[in-house]
Amino acid sequence: MKIYEVFKLNRKLIKAEDLFDFCVSILKRVGVDEENAKIVADNLVMANLRGVDSHGVARLPTYVERVLRGLINPQGLIEIVKEHGATALMDAHNNFGQVAAVRAANLAAEKVKTFGVSCVGVRNANHFGMAAYYAIKLSGKKLIGMVLSNGPPAIAPWGGKKPMFGTNPLCISFPVSDGAIVLDMAVSVVARGKIRLAALKGEKIPEGWAFDENGNPTTDPAAALKGALAPIGGPKGYGLTLALDLLCGLITGSSYLQNVKALDDFSGPSGTGFFIEAIDVEAFIPYQEYEKKMAAYVEAIKNCPKREGVNEIFLPGEIEKREMEHRSKVGVPLDSEVLVELKRLAERFDVKTPF
């Protein structure tokens, strides 16, 4: 939900700092060391701050359950198994996706200093939360960041009705003077997490988001979760999600197609794979020149003549940036359904809640 929807009656505002501390405390209770707990918590809370609530603290109970069942290994050794110049392949050994992705992003940022571009693949990982988290960190170092991941089956091949591909997030971030231009998107019309959130809240989903298990359009989130999500652009989105699955799954030696496990599939480890790439702007253009041209570029877009009824043209990620600024001041709004689940965690692990 964005700024104008923050004060719904069934929502409660929680300070981001308090929410972060709560997540860290819970994660430490299930054996996650403090450094890694802070990485996971920071990723979740930043998602909420940016208004991407489907990838925020609502995921914490499932993460905890997967740790307790041995499906996420907080002690898993994240190691480089292959390295060649600007590229590297890491094996997360089933550790948290967030922890593996931060390590991969840091390695990419180091390699780019020497090679101008870098690409780090990760195999045998887990859901890494909001992709923009890592791309934004790379852009904070004056780099272009690209983050790709595969995921559990949610999209059917074009013309099919059985899910075989993930929603497979794709994120690219360009540094600008006041932050970054951030495209963070799922290859489905909507991220699967938003449908999960709708199911949790007992709400219908819009038409055009998903199909039921028989391939028929549906507005029932439960039916959608049993069926398939609609890809963006029809066959074009299908082709894109296939390409991302090949890159992140098959090429890295991780799982792919139906072999990637969903968060709520407790039959085995996730097997998620991803790619994190970095580009040094100065490998192509002096950064000062880039900044000057980017400022003019942004100004041109913002000044584009608007359609009737449009007050402002936004850059990719700009709405989320403003939402983060707003929520950082007033607090993170959490739905009552999410609060109930978090309170259950608090009681289970004897952790004091900020709500």
The pLDDT, as a whole number, for residue 6 is 44
The two three-digit tokens of residue 70, written as one number: 């041995």
Mean confidence (pLDDT) of the chain: 95
**Is the CATH number of domain 1-68+317-355 3.40.50.720?**
no
**pLDDT average, residue stretch 315-340:** 96
| Residue 318 scores a pLDDT above 70 | yes
- % of the chain at pLDDT higher than 70: 97
| Residue 47 scores a pLDDT above 80 | yes
CA distance 126 to 260: 9
Pairing mode of beta strands 87-91, 117-125: parallel
Number of C-beta neighbours around residue 347 at 10 A = 10
The pLDDT, as a whole number, for residue 1 is 41
Residues 142 and 273: beta-carbon distance below 8 Å: no
- Give me the residue spans of the domains in the chain: 1-68+317-355
- In this prediction, residue 9 has a pLDDT band, given cuts at 50, 70 and 90, of low
The pLDDT, as a whole number, for residue 5 is 47
As a three-state string, the secondary structure of the chain is CCHHHCCCCCEEEECHHHHHHHHHHHHHHCCCCHHHHHHHHHHHHHHHHCCCHHHCHHHHHHHHHHHHCCCCCCCCCCEEEEEECCEEEEECCCCCHHHHHHHHHHHHHHHHHHHCEEEEEEEEECCCCCCHHHHHHHHCCCEEEEEEECCCCCECCCCCCCCCECCCCEEEEEEECCEEEEEEECCECCCHHHHHHHHHHCCCCCCCCEECCCCCEECCHHHHHHCEECECCCHHHHHHHHHHHHHHHHCCCCCCHHHCCCCCCCCCCCCEEEEEEEEEHHHCCCHHHHHHHHHHHHHHHHCCCCCCCCCCCCCCCHHHHHHHHHHHHHCEEEEHHHHHHHHHHHHHHCCCCCC
- Give 342's contacts (C-beta < 8 A, 6+ positions apart): 22, 57, 60, 61, 334, 353, 355
pLDDT tens digits, 274-297: 999 999 999 999 999 999 999 999
Higher-confidence residue: 100 or 8? 100
pLDDT tens digits, 190-199: 877 788 889 9
| Residue 49 scores a pLDDT above 90 | yes
pLDDT tens digits, 321-330: 999 999 999 9
**pLDDT average, residue stretch 246-267:** 97
pLDDT tens digits, 67-119: 999 999 999 999 999 999 999 999 999 999 999 999 999 999 999 999 999 99
**pLDDT average, residue stretch 222-233:** 93
**pLDDT average, residue stretch 174-178:** 95
The pLDDT, as a whole number, for residue 91 is 99
pTM of the model: 0.92
Instruction: Give the number of C-alpha atoms closer than 13 A to the C-alpha of residue 148, restricted to the C-beta side.
Output: 20
The pLDDT, as a whole number, for residue 4 is 38
- In this prediction, residue 201 has a pLDDT band, given cuts at 50, 70 and 90, of confident
Cα-to-chain-centroid distance, residue 206 = 22
- % of the chain at pLDDT higher than 90: 90
Residues 318-332 as b or e (16 or more Cβ within 10 Å = b): bebbebbeebeeebb
- In this prediction, residue 7 has a pLDDT band, given cuts at 50, 70 and 90, of very low
